[in-house]
């Protein structure tokens, strides 16, 4: 469970939409797959986050569920979870299945791959 907690803590920091966290926690050659962007690199993700931040776009709510981790090989681990999140400027939440592959570099877990798959039937509107 220590591995799962450590990786989940990193994922939560990535969901803060902080470009510095992305630069520090993703390997340079990282690949990310999002429904909105398709396949992108770390540099493209960091640039997009800086633009989102300039526009005042940040996640207001992020909830993880069904978190699972799997050590794949020495220094390689998989983390999967479901997520429900809402942007500050939106009333509707998004729901997705997420998978991340981490590699240990210089004793630090870093993200090498991340993919989100939308789950449409779970989206809901925020009341209030």
Query: What confidence score (pLDDT) does residue 127 get?
Result: 42
CA dihedral 124, 47, 78, 95 (to 10 degrees): 10
CA-to-CA dists, residue 69 to 33, 46, 87, 101, angstroms: 19, 25, 26, 10
Question: What CATH architecture applies to the domain 2-122?
Answer: Roll (3.10)
Note the pTM of the prediction, 2 decimals: 0.89
pLDDT in tens, the chain (128 residues): 799 999 999 999 999 999 999 999 999 999 999 998 999 999 999 999 999 989 988 999 999 999 999 999 999 999 999 999 999 988 999 999 999 999 999 999 999 999 999 998 644 444 44
């Amino acid at each position: 469970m220590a591995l799962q907690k450590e990786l989940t803590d990193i994922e939560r920091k990535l969901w803060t939409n902080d470009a510095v966290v992305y630069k520090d926690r993703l390997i340079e050659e990282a690949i990310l797959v999002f429904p909105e962007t398709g396949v992108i690199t770390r540099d493209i993700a960091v640039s997009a986050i800086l633009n989102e931040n300039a526009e005042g776009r940040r996640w207001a709510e992020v909830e993880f569920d069904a978190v699972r981790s799997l050590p794949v090989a020495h220094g390689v681990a998989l983390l999967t979870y479901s997520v429900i999140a809402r942007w500050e400027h939106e009333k509707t939440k998004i729901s997705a299945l997420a998978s991340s592959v981490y590699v240990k570099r210089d004793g630090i877990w870093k993200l090498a791959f991340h993919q989100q798959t939308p789950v449409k039937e779970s989206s809901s509107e925020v009341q209030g």
